[in-house]
Structure 1
Amino acid sequence: MLESLQALNPFCKHGYVPLTAVPASYRVQTHVKITIAVIVLISVAALLHPLGAAQQYVFNSSADNGPIPSIVHYVYIKKDDDSVLNFHFAHFLTLFASVMYINPSRIYIHTDYSDTDIASAVQNGNTWTRKVLTTFPEIVVFNPVVAPQFAGPNEGRKIDAIQHKSDFIRWDEIAKTGGIYLDWDVVVLQPLTPLLNAGFAFVAGRQYGGAAEDGRINGTINNGAFMTKPNSAMARIMLREQTAGFNGAWEYNLQFLTSVAERLVHIPNQALICDRHAFAPTHWFAESKDALFLANDGRPSPEPSLTNSTDVMDIYDNMVANRRRRLDWEMDLSATYMLHAFGQGQHNNDITPKRILARTSNYGVATWAIVKRMKEEGHVKGHEEEG
């Protein structure tokens, strides 16, 4: 019989005979030891893997870590019923820069102008209008939209400003495909690939915030240049809430966008907010606009020396050498991915191929390489003075 029990009971098989009841005091001690062991294990786990890390694991396991699509979005809508399509050289410049530095698969121009309006502008528009409409037919797509007229609670507040109408359209459209939204006064100055591949669902940058500015809008996110994945949390929140909360205030969309983005930073991979030098290093006051666009007397800024090296230190040293040769009036835009050139519309006469290639203004120095490429590819002759 004993041999049969040993065959069935592993404890008996090895000579152990726990066949009698364990005393109650032993059972209590065992429970206490187990409880202590569990507490110790939980404490160690908490130290090695705090809640924030655990949350990150959860979010990363489900997050789409693919890049933001290389799709560019512009909005161009009518100010009134009699408006016609009319572009300046500055508009062609931003379009060309997008192609040069982003290499987009598509450029959407979301517009309420009809096909007839566009065809008429191609035939009868000025030089730059025709170039905007016809230079990149393989990637530029005119997407018809209807400009919103009402928003706010119960959609009872009329939207008067064309800029506010554009605010709603840009989110309605970019949420579908993702990509890079650009106002027409934003010029890309270097490749955006590092930002598109950074793993964030939304990337934006702050704009100027100074003591002389209204404190309610200091340091808000600039909504004239941003990037998002399709159907990102930011896009879904903007679509769901910005219309309902619209109050007609000029800075409403800026404040709302900023508050949402700042909250999303807490959630891994959802939002990256760059400092203002990244997208909007200048501002909209006269001293900044004049310093950016107006030509300076004296000799032009020297052309930068180039290097074919791929070594980071060589590239850095070359950049520093170029900066040391700069003139006193030159801005340092080396940390700027995109230049939101506030006041561009007031300075169209200062933005021409000839003036930019002359390298006598900060805007000219910043965009010189773009216009140089235009000239090399035959899009401009370089002596045009029409802005």
Structure 2
Amino acid sequence: MWPFPLNFQTRKRVIPIIVVGLLSLFVTVPFFFIKVDLPSCLTTQTQPPPNDGRRPTIPNIVHYVHLMSDPQGKIQFELKHFISLYSASLYFSPDVIYIHTDAPDDEVERAKSSDEASNKWSRLIFNLPQVVVNNVTAPDYADNGEEIRNLENKSDFVRAKVVYELGGIYLDWDVHPLRDFKPLREAGFANVVGLQKDDLVNSGCYMSIKGSEMMRIWLKYEHIVYDGGYITHAVILLTHLSRRLVMIPNEVLILDRYALAPSSWETDDAQSLMGSHSEAQAPHLASADPRRPALTTADAEVLWEAARASTREEWENDYSYTYAIHAFRSHGLHDFDKITLRYVLSRQSNFARAVYPAVQHAIDTGIIALDD
């Protein structure tokens, strides 16, 4: 019942006012809660899109981090490290590949010019034309006073800093590119990350424009949340940050796990990736050809028909929709010892078949020899 008498004309004027007021209340309340739920750094620090309407392009720069466990020790890269970096060089044709390291200059020079058989992979890596060594100092303490004890955690801080300052693609040494990242770099997002098996964001392979907001906030909050654990400041923080910043148009793209990390650290997945199948017939696989024209929609039905006619072996994984493989684990497995040239050229494992085209390209061009 109305609390005061209303005639027909008065009610005609008052009812619309009440309806509009109620609608305003329902519209205002949700926005109020959205606003107060956002961290202050997101409401005050986010950058507007470029005035010219262009979407961001991630620079074609690659970053690796190599920190020394012994400041006076020797750099000892292996074939697996060479495959990762050579694949990035081959498929990306990057402007530069940075190796950020705290190794002394004289040790880098020794590794670069060494004729020791045990150091051939280090020599090959440092002498690739796109490689530039950048000396860095890894932090010993986070800004919250917590000591950073292990190299993996120190690397997390270094990688976030250099990608924020320079932009580009960060790769762990056990990440092996399978194709060009250009479609991802030019997708119009300031940051591109990918999930791993536990639905967290993989911090071993990601890309960003120079000075992105996501990288700025990650670099800042690494020092705030660091607790000595392996993933609090890296995987977990990056996951929560990425998910929240998806709300900002073109700030971050989160790919599914099969894009950058189709395998995992679990035994079954690692065995599926690295385990050899000695009874398998080595398939004919061509050397990688970076000059081959990119596929277009004109090839779509041919690709589909080829997929339908595929005769893959039961154990063989399909990496046609994968940009890179993160080989999280390569120990404690059956029918696998280590990554050797013979192991790759035999093409009797999923990993070997995936990286074979790049390795064969290095052989064809004389960068490595069959007896290496």
TM tier, shorter chain?
Answer: 0.7 to 0.9
Q: Deviations over 1:19-57 (max 9, x none)?
A: xxxxxxxxxxxxx9xx99xx9xxx9xx9xxxxxxxxxxx
Q: Does 1:245 align with 2:225?
A: yes
Q: CA deviation at 1:317?
A: 3.5
Q: Does 1:113 align with 2:103?
A: yes
Q: Does 1:141 align with 2:132?
A: yes
Higher-Rg member (1/2): 1
Residues 69 and 196 in structure 1, CA contact (< 8 A), matched pair in contact too: yes
Q: Does 1:365 align with 2:353?
A: yes
Counterpart CA distance in 1 for 2:237 and 2:174 is 22
Q: CA deviation at 1:321?
A: 5.3
Q: CA deviation at 1:345?
A: 6.9
Q: CA deviation at 1:378?
A: 1.0
| Aligned match of 1:327 | 313
> Judging changes above 3 Å, is the alpha-carbon distance between structure 1 residues 315 and 164 closer, same or farther for their aligned structure 2 residues?
farther
Residues 92 and 132 in structure 1, CA contact (< 8 A), matched pair in contact too: yes
**When the two structures are aligned, how many residues end up with a matched partner?**
326
TM-score (normalizing by structure 1): 0.76
> Judging changes above 3 Å, is the alpha-carbon distance between structure 1 residues 157 and 61 closer, same or farther for their aligned structure 2 residues?
closer
Q: Return the letter of the residue paired with 1:317.
A: W
Q: Does 1:193 align with 2:182?
A: yes
> Judging changes above 3 Å, is the alpha-carbon distance between structure 1 residues 130 and 349 closer, same or farther for their aligned structure 2 residues?
farther
Where do residues 11-22 of structure 1 align in structure 2 (5 Å cutoff)?
none
Counterpart CA distance in 2 for 1:305 and 1:368 is 8
> Judging changes above 3 Å, is the alpha-carbon distance between structure 1 residues 319 and 77 closer, same or farther for their aligned structure 2 residues?
farther
| Aligned match of 2:58 | 68
Q: Which has the higher helix share?
A: 1
> Judging changes above 3 Å, is the alpha-carbon distance between structure 1 residues 346 and 372 closer, same or farther for their aligned structure 2 residues?
farther
**Identity over aligned residues, as a percent?**
34
Q: CA deviation at 1:276?
A: 0.7
Counterpart CA distance in 1 for 2:311 and 2:331 is 31
Q: CA deviation at 1:123?
A: 3.4
Query: Out of 153, 165, 170, which is 1:164 matched to?
Result: 153
Residues 294 and 350 in structure 1, CA contact (< 8 A), matched pair in contact too: no
SS in structure 2 opposite 1:151? coil
Q: Deviations over 1:47-94 (max 9, x none)?
A: xxxxxxxxxxx9545476131000000000111334321100111111
> Judging changes above 3 Å, is the alpha-carbon distance between structure 1 residues 84 and 305 closer, same or farther for their aligned structure 2 residues?
closer
Where do residues 277-296 of structure 1 align in structure 2 (5 Å cutoff)?
277-296=258-277
Counterpart CA distance in 2 for 1:262 and 1:343 is 27
> Judging changes above 3 Å, is the alpha-carbon distance between structure 1 residues 146 and 315 closer, same or farther for their aligned structure 2 residues?
farther
Residues 91 and 185 in structure 1, CA contact (< 8 A), matched pair in contact too: yes
Query: Out of 334, 343, 365, which is 1:377 matched to?
Result: 365
Q: Deviations over 1:184-209 (max 9, x none)?
A: 00011011111000000000001112
Q: Deviations over 1:99-155 (max 9, x none)?
A: 11111001111000111011112233511111111122xx211111001100152xx
Q: CA deviation at 1:305?
A: 8.1
Query: Out of 178, 181, 191, which is 1:202 matched to?
Result: 191
> Judging changes above 3 Å, is the alpha-carbon distance between structure 1 residues 169 and 64 closer, same or farther for their aligned structure 2 residues?
farther
Counterpart CA distance in 1 for 2:331 and 2:361 is 23
| Aligned match of 2:299 | 312
Q: CA deviation at 1:286?
A: 2.0
| Aligned match of 2:120 | 127
> Judging changes above 3 Å, is the alpha-carbon distance between structure 1 residues 64 and 230 closer, same or farther for their aligned structure 2 residues?
farther
| Aligned match of 2:81 | 91
Counterpart CA distance in 1 for 2:100 and 2:132 is 8
| Aligned match of 1:227 | 207
Greater Cα offset, 247-256 or 348-357:
348-357
Q: Return the letter of the residue paired with 2:122.
A: T
TM-score (normalizing by structure 2): 0.79
Q: Does 1:77 align with 2:67?
A: yes
Q: CA deviation at 1:329?
A: 1.2
